[in-house]
Chain A
């Protein structure tokens, strides 16, 4: 019980500290902007640990962070194998295939206004659907292994990527297009020199959204059938064995993979679209 009280006190102290930091003169600096959410996240972990231990919450409901950390370190080889199966083989390959196909189709479609006007609303519609439901069908077609997971990822990232790219390619103003006309530029020149660079912010927006969709697609697709390997498989198997610490360890892997994937795309984005107002802050 004392642990719970201690947790409560810790929460109050940490919150007070954050309030002071947030309202201080230094609150605009990058350091403080980083420190405050870190204190907040750390506080959550501490409170979690103390409350779960203090109230003797059973492991099958919620393990404490310390146990999760132990399991994570102990089971690292298995976690790594799962990561390779799900992320590298399933999510990454599906991501590359899906995004490339979507960009290629968008470039093709953009030349023909009629098709674009029909495809964009249909694409918007399809992007909002529960694509994850196609997982059982794709498992049936491509088998249990990572190929079906890659297929699910392709379907999931295709439509958001398509509509973002099409929107980006139409982003040029009439004035910019007129300028190209006065140079008597041919369509290919106008595409490479104007449309493509101007579309980059939109394309990267789609690429970032797709990183999250890819990981979700690969993991959830494994719920529908998988060899005895993979993050989704491990999660559902561990649930069956009530080994929730392993489930949480996989979630930690997923969180790290997800944010790292997104972060890498964001860094590339900063390099390519350095000129866009959103990047210049």
Chain B
């Protein structure tokens, strides 16, 4: 893991004004994420993990403090198309085939026709959906749709991948399979991944760094550098090392919960 910072957040604050008064979604967040990291954000609802991800994507404006993505503001990074975003739901366009959906960002960003074809084939093979390129989204299962959504985010040259609970709507068996695939993908493409999740085993299994957050106000309670090796089969979830890290995460969550 390099020490080359891709994301730097300093004294980040984000407050929403709502009808029931101000909501402190993010309070004094300080975090550095390096190139090639796989960082999970975990915490209960309202802890600010999705808000942080959205702030990185320039989908939310911080109230105070700074974020730097690749040394630029999030909006500059957005205009440079520096990241791919994967939402909780696949959000594929029902009127386009799977291949057509993958081509969507490529068309917008002005890649040539031959480039579009090459990249679409490449990422579909990466997520093992090459046989479904001509199908429509409703003909695919939820898991496959989400894989297509990930492929879409990988199709263009963004070194950063932002994923907001992408597997939350899927059942456990599909989830495990997708977790393995995602890990493989990360190793092969060497991208920096920020991954929001509710699931402790998922966070520990996937990450090199785990950021534990808690709500009211949204803040970081713990940052855990994972000691697990990069090569991890699913069985590693029963190892002692894994369980220790998971316990540390659980403690971090409880601590945040208890201080309310």
- B-binding residues in A (CB < 8 A): 173, 175-176, 178-185, 189, 193-194, 197, 200, 273-277, 280
Contact = CB atoms under 8 A, between A and B. Distances in A.
Contacts of B109: 183
B89 interface: yes
Given A182-B78, A197-B95, A275-B95, 10 more contacts: A179-B87, A182-B57, A183-B81, A183-B104, A183-B108, A185-B108, A194-B93, A197-B93, A200-B95, A274-B95
B225 interface: no
Interface in B78-105: 78-81, 83-85, 87, 89, 91, 93-95, 104-105
Interface string B94-129: 110000000011011100000000000000000000
B16 interface: no
Interface string B56-93: 01110000000000000000001111011101010101
Interface residues of B, number: 23
A193 B108 CA distance: 9
19 contacts: A175-B91, A178-B87, A179-B85, A180-B108, A181-B57, A181-B59, A181-B78, A182-B78, A182-B84, A183-B104, A184-B80, A185-B108, A193-B104, A193-B108, A194-B93, A197-B93, A275-B94, A276-B94, A280-B138
Contacts of B59: 178, 181-182
Pairs A-B, 10 closest by C-beta atoms: A275-B94, A182-B85, A275-B95, A185-B108, A183-B108, A197-B95, A183-B105, A184-B79, A189-B108, A175-B91
A276 B94 CA distance: 7
Contacts of B58: 181
Given A182-B57, A276-B94, A193 B87 contact: no
B136 interface: yes
A175 B122 CA distance: 26
Contact of A193 (B80, B84, B107, B136): B107
Which interface residue of B95, B136, B138 has the most chain A CB atoms within 10 A? B95
A197 B91 CA distance: 14
Contacts of B105: 183
A174 to B, nearest CB: 10
Contacts of A277: 138
Nearest to A180: B108
A145 B176 CA distance: 72
A59 B83 CA distance: 78
A176 B105 CA distance: 13
Nearest to B89: A175
A134 B22 CA distance: 53
A179 B107 contact: no
A182 B83 contact: yes
Contacts of B78: 181-182, 184
B136 A275 contact: yes
Nearest to B78: A184
B162 to A, nearest CB: 8
Contacts of B104: 183, 193
A275 B85 contact: no
A177 B169 CA distance: 21
A184 B108 CA distance: 8
Nearest to A189: B108
B210 to A, nearest CB: 25
B44 to A, nearest CB: 22
